[in-house]
Structure 1
């Protein structure tokens, strides 16, 4: 039996990072569990926010130095506002990994998932789930 060819390629640079980030946000904005947190970003300026997220992931994957924010501080504020700990953080991670797997395949795609897992773990250790 012939197996179909996987035409996904690896994340190769900033255009791919931007494609991944945009695809993830498109999914998060309609996700029943995450939409409220991401709608806040859409309201305040998604077009301004996505390049910042792209800078962050480009730095994580390709060791650039464009990102000038504080990842932990930003997400802590979102957690206080939307209760992102627990199931929501797990859903965020699942959605990120699903998006990576849908769009890309290769060592950098795997690293995008591994880094997200590590970040979610670090955030999850400091956050208290909503009650």
Structure 2
């Protein structure tokens, strides 16, 4: 079956990942639940952050091995400052899934959503353990 030109295609390239990240962040930065923790990006600068987080998602989805960051310490600092509770992680996953679904469909798109949910659950559990220790 041929797709129409406007039908979503799968996430396949770094350009696709960058497009997805821009769509997600344009919403997260103004979302009432996520605005506070994402406000840090106003200081760091979204254009400086996107290459790093793009490397992360490119590694997760396309297995490039480019990401050299440290996911947990960054989020631990945000957790100490803003309290990254279950509601925030749930909202993050919901906005991520919506952005993926608006732009893409296919195996990698499904994997992007599954990985986001898995990462959010693992990160939330790790931050909860660290803050109660």
TM-score of the superposed pair, with normalisation by structure 1 = 0.89
Equivalent position of 2:68 in the other structure: 68
Equivalent position of 2:122 in the other structure: 122
Equivalent position of 1:38 in the other structure: 38
Structure 1 ranges of 4+ moved more than 6 A: none
C-alpha RMSD of matched pairs (Å): 1.8
Distance (whole Å) between structure 2 residues aligned to residue 81 and residue 32 of structure 1: 16
Contact kept? 1:29, 1:38, Cα under 8 Å? yes
Contact kept? 2:84, 2:124, Cα under 8 Å? no
Size of the aligned set, in residue pairs, is 126
Contact kept? 1:59, 1:65, Cα under 8 Å? yes
TM-score of the superposed pair, with normalisation by structure 2 = 0.88
Which sits farther off after the overlay, 49-58 or 66-75? Answer: 66-75
**Structure 1 segment 81-120 matched on structure 2, within 5 A:** 81-120=81-120
Contact kept? 2:12, 2:62, Cα under 8 Å? no
Post-superposition Cα deviations, 1:22-72, rounded to whole Å, max 9, x if no partner, equal 111001011011011112112222111011000000000011121110112
Query: Matched residue of 1:127: which SS?
Result: helix
Unaligned runs of 5+ in 1: none
Contact kept? 1:85, 1:127, Cα under 8 Å? no
Distance (whole Å) between structure 2 residues aligned to residue 96 and residue 65 of structure 1: 22
